């Protein structure tokens, strides 16, 4: 993606001078212009910039109001904004910095100083972006089961709480499916625990393939998986569970498991119902349904009593 700078100033001459100065050192591939804060903000919404150079005093909307608009948008947080001012008023600079400005430059500006300040802000932004990516990766690692790549039990609790609250608020359905790999102990005893891990990760891959983008799947523990289906009533969740059950049967494992056929049992419960009015009840009813599936011969899907 190409880099872009946005220059906001009511003076066409100043805009041209800033852009020409930055073009001479090749800091950006694209440049956009705006004549005041309102036009600049609309430009930002249409096409994100990597850095903004904005005049303080402009007609219709000045630089301070522009900063306030940028601060109101979470997607624009961290955007470097260098303010241009013709005043040496210390209080005005403090006001701008308090409202989100990254730096100040006094007009008429020196070309070398402009380039230096822009480079500093771009470096800071680069470091912040790297830190953000590292934090997101760390968060992902703390939420993911390392073997299966599905969410872990801790994060499942957060997802389920959020989805239950949304379903209750919007008066929508929420279904929970608990899946257990049948006779998994025999797989470990016959093929060894290392190959048992291959089975777990393979079944998890099948689970992930069957899920919609807004569904959630987690490894609950051992050979159990929990699936969360927002906006899905009991009938739809049963269809999804049956489709998954068949997909596991049809799955081919790598050597030395190529002749192995794995089946799963599943229990389904849905909110709202006369038996489910909280998360614990939803989980309990799904677990009871899973128990019936095991009692009734495994390799089947059972539901909570309607």
Q: Is the pLDDT of residue 1 over 70?
A: no
What's the whole-number mean pLDDT along residues 223-239? 97
The model carries a pTM of: 0.62
- Tokens coding 149: 């790549």
Distance from C-alpha of 22 to C-alpha of 17, rounded to nearest angstrom: 9
Q: 150 has which bridge partners?
A: none
User: Are the C-beta atoms of 241 and 301 separated by less than 8 Å?
Assistant: yes
Task: Give one DSSP letter per residue of 69-88, joined into a string.
Answer: HHHT-GGGTT--EEEEES--
> What was the pLDDT predicted at 228?
98
User: Are the C-beta atoms of 295 and 267 separated by less than 8 Å?
Assistant: no
Hey, is 11 helix, strand or coil?
coil
Q: 271 has which bridge partners?
A: 174
Give rounded-to-5 percent helix, strand, coil for the chain.
Answer: 50, 20, 30
Q: Is the pLDDT of residue 141 over 80?
A: no
> What was the pLDDT predicted at 306?
64
The single-letter DSSP state of residue 98 is H
- Tokens coding 183: 């006779």
Q: How many CB atoms lie within 10 A of CB 67?
A: 24
Buried b (16+ CB within 10 A) or exposed e, 223-234: bbbbbbbbbbbb
Q: Is the pLDDT of residue 94 over 90?
A: no
What's the whole-number mean pLDDT along residues 53-72? 94
User: Are the C-beta atoms of 258 and 294 separated by less than 8 Å?
Assistant: no
pLDDT digits (tens, 9 = 90+) for 147-193: 999 999 999 999 999 999 999 999 999 999 999 999 999 999 999 99
Hey, is 121 helix, strand or coil?
helix
User: Are the C-beta atoms of 260 and 253 separated by less than 8 Å?
Assistant: yes
Q: Which domains does the chain have, with CATH numbers?
A: 4-141 (3.40.50.2300), 153-303 (3.30.70.270)
Distance from C-alpha of 180 to C-alpha of 63, rounded to nearest angstrom: 60
**Active-site residue list:** 223
Mean pLDDT in the chain?
A: 93
């Amino acid at each position: 993606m190409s880099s872009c700078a946005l220059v906001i100033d009511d003076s066409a001459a100043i805009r041209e001078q800033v852009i020409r100065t930055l073009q001479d050192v090749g800091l950006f591939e694209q440049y956009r212009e705006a004549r005041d804060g309102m036009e600049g903000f609309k430009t930002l919404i249409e096409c994100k910039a990597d850095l903004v150079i904005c005049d303080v005093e402009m007609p219709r909307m000045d630089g301070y109001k522009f900063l306030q608009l940028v601060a109101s948008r979470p997607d624009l947080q961290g955007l470097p904004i260098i303010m241009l001012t013709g005043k040496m008023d210390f209080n005005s600079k403090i006001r701008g910095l308090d409202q989100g400005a990254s730096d100040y430059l006094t007009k008429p500006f020196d070309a070398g100083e402009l380039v230096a300040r822009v480079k500093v802000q771009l470096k800071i932004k680069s470091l912040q972006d790297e830190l953000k990516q590292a934090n997101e990766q760390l968060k992902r690692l703390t939420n993911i089961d390392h073997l299966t790549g599905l969410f872990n039990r801790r994060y499942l609790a957060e997802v389920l709480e959020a989805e239950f609250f949304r379903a209750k608020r919007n008066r929508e359905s929420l279904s929970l499916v608990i899946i257990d790999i049948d006779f998994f102990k025999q797989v470990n005893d016959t093929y060894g625990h290392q190959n048992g891990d291959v089975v777990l990760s393979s079944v998890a891959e099948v689970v992930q393939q069957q899920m919609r983008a807004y569904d959630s799947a987690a490894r609950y523990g051992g050979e159990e998986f929990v699936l969360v289906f927002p906006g899905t009533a009991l009938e739809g969740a049963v269809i999804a569970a049956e489709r998954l059950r068949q997909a596991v049967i049809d799955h081919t494992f790598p050597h030395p498991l190529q002749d192995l056929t794995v089946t799963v049992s599943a229990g389904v419960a849905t909110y709202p119902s006369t038996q489910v009015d909280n998360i614990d009840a939803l989980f309990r009813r799904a677990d009871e349904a899973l128990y019936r599936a095991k009692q009734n011969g495994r390799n089947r899907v059972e539901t909570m009593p309607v």
